[in-house]
Amino acid sequence: MLKFLSFFLKKKIYYKIRKTRFPFTINSYEIDIFYNNLWIEIIGIGIINNNILINNKLKTLGFAGGIGIDRLIMIKKSKKHIKYIYD
């Protein structure tokens, strides 16, 4: 994902990884990238919560991860805050 971001933004990406909590995952992390002098939360990742697997009759451990498309638009359009892409 970070290679994609570097390609998409046409520059070297500086990032940090933070431990976090999502209701649908365990051992969750967020990846922030440094862009235009701001740290922007861009990717969320984690192992799918066991309750979700059980409720859907799945027996395989799963991994969830996603990139914020709205964040990519925010960066490409040089918006300082995510709310401006919805106005």
Return per-residue pLDDT of the chain as tens, 87 residues: 778 888 888 888 899 999 999 999 999 999 998 888 888 888 999 999 988 888 989 888 889 998 888 888 877 777 777 777 777
Q: What DSSP element (H or E) covers 2?
A: helix 2-9
Note the pTM of the prediction, 2 decimals: 0.73
The residues that bridge with 47 in the sheet, in sequence order, are 26, 63
Sheet holding 38-48, edge to edge: 14-20, 25-35, 38-48, 63-67
